[in-house]
Structure 1
Amino acid sequence: MSKAERTRQFIIEQTAPVFNKQGYAGTSLNDLTAATGLTKGAIYGNFENKEEVALAAFEHNLAFVFNGLRASAPKTAPAREKLLAVPRFYRQVYAELQARGGCPILNTAVEVDDAPASPLRRRVQETLRGWHGNLVHVIEAGQQAGDLKPEADATRYATVLMALIEGGVLLAKATENPQALYTVLDHLEQLIETELVA
């Protein structure tokens, strides 16, 4: 990496938890300089504006979640294992996720839901579509392999899985009680085993 690339990456890494905890609107330029120890000029020498920093920070925070999900089950694993790896991952990383400010998808989605022109909102929507599409693909592949029930509506179950996870994270964070999430994850595992697995 060049010096400029290293500086840019440093800014992203240092500001990512700030944006995830405080949101785009709640994060000032002073917050960014405090987090990085850099001047405003140094930050804007590497990013066009605060929104560009926020988008890069969102991608960084998102990578923690999606890289972890990808690593939680091998690509060659059966569909059942891939689906069960999702609640297992959230159970294992919940404490670290909270230390980072919570789920970046949930946090950002709530903040930008009334800002239709926001690039952050568009990125959240793309992320949700991609996650949904990936779950549909896993379910349909499992059905073709005979591992999952052929009559299960892949689109419906992908939506339910996502809603349960994000809803569980929201409840746990809002009530400061991780058991809320663990209860949802237990239900999700039961749902996978009883309604999807052939």
Structure 2
Amino acid sequence: MTKGQITRNMIIERSAPVFNKKGIAGTSISEFMEVTGLAKGGIYRNFESKDEISTEAFNFLCNQLSEGISGVVKVKVTAKDKLFALLDFYRDVLVINDGGCPLLNFGAEADDTNLVIRKLAGEKIKALQARISGLVDSGISAGEFNSGTNSSHFAV
């Protein structure tokens, strides 16, 4: 990895939590400077705009979300336990400790203001719904959940 890529990744990793907690509109370049220790030129040498940083930060947070869910789900055996592990992850890690769900935080703000993130958020939300629906379907097949449960509606 080049020095430039290392710096770019550092900017993304350190600015992502700020975006998640304060929103795109509520986050200023001076806050990136503060959390990264870089001057404005150092940030703009790596990114063309704040929108580019926010898109990369959103993707970074979504990857962390997916990896976190996978980590807690893979150690469980039953579909029911996997589903509860996913829900507990959301409550304990995202809501209480980390500023909330980036899918909802970015998606709500980008709905009218940032078409790129709006599209990405929609895709990621659908993927999470499919993941939940798949867990419910597995639980129905295993007799853990009521056979009359509509997994797609449940996931929403």
Report the TM-score range of the alignment, normalised by the length of the smaller protein. Answer: 0.7 to 0.9
Per-residue CA shift, 1:15-69, capped at 9, x if unaligned? 1122112211122222222221212222222223211110111122233333222
Q: Which residue is 2:59 aligned to?
A: 59
Alignment of 1:83-98 (within 5 A): 83-93=83-93, 94-97=95-98
Is the CA contact (8 Å cut-off) linking 2:90 and 2:101 kept in structure 1?
Answer: no
Q: State how far apart, in whole Å, the 2-side matches of 1:50 and 1:128 are.
A: 23
Q: Report the equivalent of 1:184.
A: none
Structure 2 residue matching 1:73: 3-state secondary structure: helix
User: For the aligned residues, what is the CA RMSD?
Assistant: 2.1
Q: What corresponds to 1:110 in structure 2? A: 108
Could you list the per-position Cα deviations for residues 130-186 of structure 1 after superposition, in whole angstroms to 9, with x for gaps in the alignment?
101111122222323333322211111111xxxxxxxxxxxxxxxxxxxxxxxxxxx
Kept after mapping to 1: 8 A contact 2:107/2:118: yes
Q: What CA distance in whole angstroms lies between the structure 2 residues aligned with 1:40 and 1:50?
A: 11
State how far apart, in whole Å, the 2-side matches of 1:64 and 1:96 are. 14
Displacement of 1:104 in angstroms is 1.6
Alpha-carbon distance in structure 1 between the residues aligned to 2:38 and 2:128: 35
Indicate how the Cα distance of structure 1 residues 69 and 33 shifts in structure 2: closer, same or farther if over 3 A, else same: same
Identity of aligned residues (%): 36
Kindly report which structure 2 residues correspond to 1:179-198, keeping only aligned pairs within 5 A, or say none: none
Query: Residue type matched to 1:24 in 2?
Result: I
Per the TM alignment, residue 73 of structure 1 is displaced from its structure 2 partner at its CA by: 2.0
**TM-score scaled by length of structure 1:** 0.69
Uncovered stretches (5+) of structure 1, i.e. residues with no partner: 160-198
Which of these residues, 112, 126, 130, is aligned with residue 127 of structure 2?
130
| Rounded Cα–Cα distance in structure 1 between residues aligned with 2:27 and 2:14 | 13
What's 1:69 paired with?
69
